[in-house]
Amino acid sequence: MRFLISTAAAILLTAYVSASSLSVVSEDNVPSAPLPASGAAVDEVVVHSSLYIKPKANLRPQVRRVRSLPFAMPLNSVSLLEHVRVKRMPQYKRFGPQYGQSQANAAADANSIQFGPQGASSAASNAGSQAFNAFGPNGSFGASSAGTLTQASQSGLFGSSNSAGASMSQVFRLPNGQVINFASTNSFSNAPNGNNANSRGSSVSVGQA
C-alpha cells in the first residue's frame, strides 16, 4: 500500500515539473501580438535592445601633426610623431599716457694765427646748436637754439684793429601749438684813428604751428 502511494506521488511530481517546463517554453515561443491599429490605446510599450562597442584594431593613441619643430630635435627622432604645442604669449595693448624726449647737440671751433712782415693776425669762431623735444599725454614741448661767435684781431705798422660778433636764435614750440621765435645779434669793431663801430638788435615773433 505504501509502495503504491509513493509511486503515485512520484508520478504526480514528475507530471507537475514537466508541465511547468512546457509552460515556460511555451511562453518563450509565443509570437508577439501584432501592433494595434492606428488610434488604439496602448497601456505599455517595451523595447528590448543591446549595445555592442567594438574597439579599434589600431590601439596606438591618436597624435596630432607637428606644428613646430625645435631646432635641437634630430630629424630621425621618434618625437616627430608627437604633437609639439607652441605656447603663444598674448599681446596686450598698452593703455595709458606715453612719454618721451629727445635732444641733440652740435659744436664747431676754428682758429687761425698768421705772422708776416706787415704784422700778425688771428681769428677764431665758434658755432653751436641744441635741440630738445618732449611729449606726453597733454601735448609736446620743443625748444631749439643756435649761436655763433666770431673774433678777429690784427696788428701791424699802422696800428691794431679788433672785431667781434655774436648771434643767437631760439625757437620754442608750446603744447598749445604756439611757436615763439627769438633772435638777437651784437657786434663791434675798432680800428686806428678812432674808427669804432658797434651794432645790436633782437626780434621776437609768435606764430601757430
Q: Could you tell me if residue 85 is inside a domain? A: no
Q: Do 179 and 207 touch, CB atoms closer than 8 A?
A: yes
Residue 124, amino acid: A
Which strands sit side by side in the sheet containing 119-136, from one edge to the other?
A: 100-116, 119-136, 139-156, 159-173, 178-191, 195-208
Task: Note the pLDDT of residue 104.
Answer: 83
Count of the separate structural domains present in the chain: 1
Domain span at residue 167 reads 127-208
Average model confidence (pLDDT) for the chain? 73
Q: Could you tell me if residue 146 is inside a domain? A: yes
Give the residues across from 189 on adjacent strands. 163, 197
Residue percentage of the chain with pLDDT more than 70 = 53
Q: Compute the distance between CA of residue 190 and CA of residue 2 in angstroms, rounded to an integer.
A: 173
Q: Which residues, at least 6 apart from 19, have a Cβ–Cβ distance to it below 8 Å?
A: none
Q: Could you tell me if residue 103 is inside a domain? A: no
Residue 184 has pLDDT above 90, yes or no: yes
Residue 5 region, left (φ>0) first, then alpha (ψ -120 to 50), else beta?
alpha
Q: Could you tell me if residue 176 is inside a domain? A: yes
Residue 199 has pLDDT above 70, yes or no: yes
Longest dimension (CA), the chain: 185
Task: Note the pLDDT of residue 40.
Answer: 61
Task: Note the pLDDT of residue 119.
Answer: 84
Confidence band for 105, pLDDT divided at 50, 70 and 90: confident
Q: Which residues, at least 6 apart from 197, have a Cβ–Cβ distance to it below 8 Å?
A: 188, 189, 190
Q: Could you tell me if residue 101 is inside a domain? A: no
Q: Do 67 and 85 touch, CB atoms closer than 8 A?
A: yes
Confidence band for 209, pLDDT divided at 50, 70 and 90: confident
Task: Note the pLDDT of residue 102.
Answer: 81
Q: Compute the distance between CA of residue 31 and CA of residue 48 in angstroms, rounded to an integer.
A: 15
Q: Could you tell me if residue 140 is inside a domain? A: yes
Q: Compute the distance between CA of residue 104 and CA of residue 142 in angstroms, rounded to an integer.
A: 12
Confidence band for 27, pLDDT divided at 50, 70 and 90: very low
User: H-helix or E-strand containing 201?
Assistant: strand 195-208
Q: Could you tell me if residue 171 is inside a domain? A: yes
Q: Kindly report, residue by residue over 62-98, the tens digit of the pLDDT.
A: 555 545 555 455 545 444 444 445 455 555 555 455 6
pLDDT (mean) for 137-158: 88
Q: Could you tell me if residue 118 is inside a domain? A: no
